[in-house]
Structure 1
């Protein structure tokens, strides 16, 4: 009956399109009766439906060798080709369309048929369960395992980890309480036994550091989202495929473990693979080169239904329009704080909030259909919007509502999946609001550093109060005037490298071997450290001293790192765990010569990002350091699993918790031989990864 209903709706759709589109016809040149035309439409719709059901999956399997974005564009043309074939199968040649029209007709028919089938199927749990049971049986036969009579739901449970990128603990609680996320509210307050707790990030409160540790057990020597490595002259950026691959390699070498997902795992939408065989939108794997080294099988669940690409394309266009409208309203109302949101940003936002979400959710559903043991997926939509609209903005709240609908879909599939699934929600960091450093003080951190070094800065920066004070400090330190535009840079010295990671700044001197000391910096630029430490937009600095070891500097204070304590002194406002986080980063081989953390206002929760972001993360201060962990009943408590006393501190502790939960469900995992870990490296000229030797 469902098949007949879908067929009838498809027939009506084809008739409607034939009446609207002049280049699409279902009649002979001499005209036909209404009955004859309806018969022709039914024949064409049936042929197209059969081709879509039988040929399309095989076609997609064969084309998974091409890049996913290319396949996404090909979907429309391939679907249109199937329609042309279906029209040729109509007796007496009554169906005809030009290629461009065929693409449009096929897209509309696929979307309508998929929507109708879904609407009918979700009301028939028995049919849904039978389909999943068949898929589970196929998988068991393929891998040579046996299951229970109910489709395997009596076996060990699988685990799905869903990372809501950038969603802080307090933001999640408020969204659930305000009705924005009813699925999450049901888990928290609906008697399902779920528990919610915050955890503390490392000093580097960003996805690169957090997710690397969560998936691979270590984020040692990841001081920020981007940093400079002197020995190679390389700027490492967590969002670059080559850098992500190298970070993954280093973590595997350090831990002697392939990752959290090495046993029947899937990694979806992440920066790192976690050791999974099944991958989709995994950044580190995008750097792999060579035949057979870039599997795209993880995209099959999305492309197996051609209507997915149609819905995604329409939603993409709608999201671009939504962003343009929202940014225009904010500009007209003169909302503040505000950053520029033009250029390519509407398309970047639409990719994060639509394409990435759709592909990842489809892949997760496919993983549960297949009965995989462990799945880790990252949904980045909120993080992207909150950076530009603010973490508490209405724009960001709308994204949370749409994410909750994705969670509801995953929950529904979990209830019908061929094995029991435990769904764990977590985040990698939060976000802290606030006007940008440049918006507040009129110059960037880089310009402030250059002014403090006596180097040329843009005229606009020279005219600011901060720029003027910096040049006055240089003049006083050098005991002579410094003219505008004069370069106090001696021959042979390179410019300092200034990088930003949210409200965390990193300053490196490339021509000083190793980590520069405070004394070396003072000899070169006697006004620099004082200028930075005394600036109202700076919370504190970390720098190495030859006399006292590493020290923390700020306005009116200097504390040896060994004496640093939470709740007092320069880090009093930054909360528990801040002192240990700074001490840990100080041990990293690639810690910057000067680490700069922006100010933090405890009363408002505001920080000043050194990037163009009014919702930021990357350093210490406020909600950015308080992500969350939400887990179902029956699992070992996170504190017990991690061996912690009062709270989870650091992403490596979260890895221990998730690994414990997987061991509880599936038994102990076999330790991985570090010599047997296959770590792919970039092997094309010009794309080499520093330190990757095989």
Structure 2
């Protein structure tokens, strides 16, 4: 065929495609209109406070015409007015906006009825129900009709992404990279969820079986999101000993997931490394504790405390809630998740399942926020980033971690969450086909979770009670409980513009900062406990502790729920204590009796030694017991799935990476610590631009870091300058 003929054929094909597209769009509009009209008729028949005709109207035809006019007016108002309402209300906390969806929809319906001749009237509370039902049915109809229509699906994604997608009609040929974090999903759990003939996560199973490779990585001693994300996104998690800790020089309680603490930790990391972070070049940070240097942020805790024009932490909400169907679906899903949690908690209680923790109060709402609102907004923001052609996106999906804390890492409740997360990943994968540039998807986790009854449930007293008893202080007859410190709690506070959690909200143990100055401060971070003596400047020594509280160290070390504790000796340096007088001198390697760290794996001594040199390490660092046969630990918080210390699956995270990238480390070489993961991710970002630093050089850096912990941090800026 000649070039001219080919051109005419192509033009005719293009015209036919455009007509098919427009015809399909018209048919979808008519179908949605018809369904909405029928919904109005049905609701008018069922609801006594809602009628479609004026008092003098008669006949089914009048009602049908009125329903069609009312449905059309409501659809037009939703398409034209709803985005303006959401933009005007963008300063309202997004959490509240999600709850207002029903009332805003109801107001639009009342206005639509006012604009429709002889449409009748509805009570305001009835209008809310009618509007929600119409939005739900029209959304379901539209989604059903667009399932096999790629062009319709593309238009929906463009509308979701807003103007950013239209500005990125063409993108670079170099691939962008999506880093999608499944919070709390350990390496072994992912293998189980993607194995077998009917995997829990079919999308991830397909990746793992074909385009991607799975690699484990071992976390630092502090196996929690704050330490892992700070290291991954900013290249340094130095001086971050736990999820929460007490700083003697200022008397401040630092909690990783609070906005002010997250902002300060990020500032310290940037100052230490001299680098803005992994996402500094055309990056986006979604749903994380830290920004990674990204200009585009949504639901990022380190910027949530800011106010003013430069705070875009809630910018992702508009991209999602500007679509009334999406907003309604999220609101309905939110309510359904609250009900689901209540039912699941009651079922667990009636079946007398053990271990279990209390799941009442605000927890159902917090869970729904994490598993529905945060998930939907983060996924929508990621899709918008892809359609805008951004170079690097890091997003955290926290749903599994939140549910596993209260239900257990392998409970049927968490299996449902994993299935829904897999569907979100499938949605992102489909959206990538419509992006202006190719994208590589790196799936990873920040830590795993270890199961087990809480320390309080198993032994009848808290870590704070045990410390007080060892110090000869009175112990309350009724032990207090330490609510979960999971990430979603402070995310919900930030979305509501509520003040940060104060002492007594679950951050400290009962013997916390509210106690008298002479009393020890005891904090919990999963199965890692921190004990500080605020009246002693600097870090107290073992010898001083023995003079002040002769029974304390023996009380802790010999308790069956304690695996080991770290203390600083004036004579021997860092010493790990275990039961029956066991000691491991970290500075010299000398071991007295049975090694207290033996059950915790080969890397335990290095992890503890690294933490010991942190300026803000607690006077005593206490790790709960670990049973290698069951993988169980005992959290010092109210969590039956926990992380934060050493022991079991909590320390085994994963990387699922595209096979075309260079391996994270050579075969047989372990990948240890969030800082090493940061260097791997930086290398993968550079690989999109051409020839790379040889893998051997990366390995040399890792080996040097393992031999001299902290050496890389002090030389990081020079190394990064050379490898950019």
Question: Normalization by structure 2: what TM-score?
Answer: 0.82
Q: Which residue of 1 aligns with 2:674?
A: 651
Q: Which residue of 2 aligns with 1:508?
A: 532
C-alpha displacement of 1:259: 1.8
Does the 8 A contact of 1:433 with 1:605 survive in 2?
Answer: yes
C-alpha displacement of 1:650: 0.4
Mean CA deviation greater in 597-606 or 272-281: 272-281
Q: Which of residues 326, 329, 342 is equivalent to 1:308?
A: 326
Please state if 1:277 is matched with 2:302: no
Please state if 1:252 is matched with 2:270: yes
Please state if 1:121 is matched with 2:146: yes
Residues 436-485 of structure 1 show CA distances to partners (whole Å, capped at 9, x for unaligned) of 22222221111111111111012367xxxxxxxxxxxxxxxxxxxxxxxx
C-alpha displacement of 1:298: 1.4
**What is the root-mean-square deviation of aligned Cα atoms in Å?**
2.5
Q: Which residue of 1 aligns with 2:401?
A: 383
Residues 230-251 of structure 1 show CA distances to partners (whole Å, capped at 9, x for unaligned) of 0111111112111111111111
Q: Which of residues 636, 650, 656 is equivalent to 1:630?
A: 656
Does the 8 A contact of 1:337 with 1:435 survive in 2?
Answer: yes
Q: Which residue of 1 aligns with 2:126?
A: 101
What SS class does the counterpart of residue 57 from structure 2 fall into? coil
Q: Which residue of 1 aligns with 2:715?
A: none
Please state if 1:661 is matched with 2:687: no
What are the residue-to-residue correspondences of 1:247-646 with 2, within 5 Å? 247-290=265-308, 292-459=310-477, 494-555=518-579, 556-564=581-589, 569-639=595-665, 646=669
In the alignment, the residues of structure 1 paired with residue 691 and residue 29 of structure 2 have an alpha-carbon distance, to the nearest angstrom, of 46
In structure 2, relative to structure 1, the CA distance for the partners of 1:172 and 1:291 (3 Å cut) is same
Q: Which residue of 2 aligns with 1:72?
A: 98
Please state if 1:180 is matched with 2:200: yes
C-alpha displacement of 1:3: 1.4
Q: Which residue of 1 aligns with 2:707?
A: none
Q: Which residue of 1 aligns with 2:492?
A: none
C-alpha displacement of 1:133: 7.4
Does the 8 A contact of 1:65 with 1:295 survive in 2?
Answer: no
C-alpha displacement of 1:563: 3.2
In the alignment, the residues of structure 2 paired with residue 667 and residue 97 of structure 1 have an alpha-carbon distance, to the nearest angstrom, of 64
In the alignment, the residues of structure 2 paired with residue 381 and residue 549 of structure 1 have an alpha-carbon distance, to the nearest angstrom, of 41
In the alignment, the residues of structure 1 paired with residue 49 and residue 654 of structure 2 have an alpha-carbon distance, to the nearest angstrom, of 55
C-alpha displacement of 1:360: 1.8
Does the 8 A contact of 1:132 with 1:417 survive in 2?
Answer: no
In structure 2, relative to structure 1, the CA distance for the partners of 1:323 and 1:557 (3 Å cut) is same
Q: Which residue of 2 aligns with 1:45?
A: 71
Q: Which residue of 1 aligns with 2:10?
A: none
C-alpha displacement of 1:668: 11
In structure 2, relative to structure 1, the CA distance for the partners of 1:3 and 1:668 (3 Å cut) is farther
In structure 2, relative to structure 1, the CA distance for the partners of 1:593 and 1:663 (3 Å cut) is same
Stretches of structure 1 lacking an aligned partner (at least 5 in a row)? 462-491, 670-694
What SS class does the counterpart of residue 249 from structure 1 fall into? helix
Mean CA deviation greater in 107-116 or 495-504: 107-116
What SS class does the counterpart of residue 560 from structure 2 fall into? coil
Q: How many residues get paired?
A: 626
Please state if 1:155 is matched with 2:181: no
Residues 95-126 of structure 1 show CA distances to partners (whole Å, capped at 9, x for unaligned) of 43233322222222122212211221221113
Does the 8 A contact of 1:203 with 1:619 survive in 2?
Answer: yes
In the alignment, the residues of structure 1 paired with residue 245 and residue 640 of structure 2 have an alpha-carbon distance, to the nearest angstrom, of 22
Q: Which residue of 1 aligns with 2:110?
A: 84
C-alpha displacement of 1:139: 4.0
In structure 2, relative to structure 1, the CA distance for the partners of 1:136 and 1:230 (3 Å cut) is closer
In the alignment, the residues of structure 2 paired with residue 537 and residue 270 of structure 1 have an alpha-carbon distance, to the nearest angstrom, of 33
Q: Which of residues 212, 228, 249 is equivalent to 2:230?
A: 212
Question: Normalization by structure 1: what TM-score?
Answer: 0.85
C-alpha displacement of 1:131: 6.2
In structure 2, relative to structure 1, the CA distance for the partners of 1:460 and 1:85 (3 Å cut) is closer
In structure 2, relative to structure 1, the CA distance for the partners of 1:429 and 1:196 (3 Å cut) is same
Mean CA deviation greater in 311-320 or 269-278: 311-320
C-alpha displacement of 1:141: 6.9
Residues 525-576 of structure 1 show CA distances to partners (whole Å, capped at 9, x for unaligned) of 011111111222211111111111111111122221123499x832221113
Residues 312-346 of structure 1 show CA distances to partners (whole Å, capped at 9, x for unaligned) of 23222322222222222222232222222222222
In the alignment, the residues of structure 2 paired with residue 279 and residue 307 of structure 1 have an alpha-carbon distance, to the nearest angstrom, of 24
Q: Which of residues 8, 11, 17 is equivalent to 2:34?
A: 8
What SS class does the counterpart of residue 96 from structure 1 fall into? coil
Stretches of structure 2 lacking an aligned partner (at least 5 in a row)? 1-26, 480-515, 693-724
C-alpha displacement of 1:175: 1.2
What SS class does the counterpart of residue 587 from structure 2 fall into? helix
In the alignment, the residues of structure 2 paired with residue 371 and residue 565 of structure 1 have an alpha-carbon distance, to the nearest angstrom, of 55
Residues 202-252 of structure 1 show CA distances to partners (whole Å, capped at 9, x for unaligned) of 000001111111111111111000101001111111121111111111111
Does the 8 A contact of 2:233 with 2:290 survive in 1?
Answer: yes
What SS class does the counterpart of residue 368 from structure 2 fall into? helix
In structure 2, relative to structure 1, the CA distance for the partners of 1:137 and 1:444 (3 Å cut) is closer
In structure 2, relative to structure 1, the CA distance for the partners of 1:26 and 1:333 (3 Å cut) is closer
Mean CA deviation greater in 19-28 or 548-557: 19-28
Please state if 1:236 is matched with 2:236: no
In the alignment, the residues of structure 1 paired with residue 112 and residue 163 of structure 2 have an alpha-carbon distance, to the nearest angstrom, of 30
In structure 2, relative to structure 1, the CA distance for the partners of 1:504 and 1:48 (3 Å cut) is same
Does the 8 A contact of 1:301 with 1:365 survive in 2?
Answer: no
In structure 2, relative to structure 1, the CA distance for the partners of 1:22 and 1:204 (3 Å cut) is same
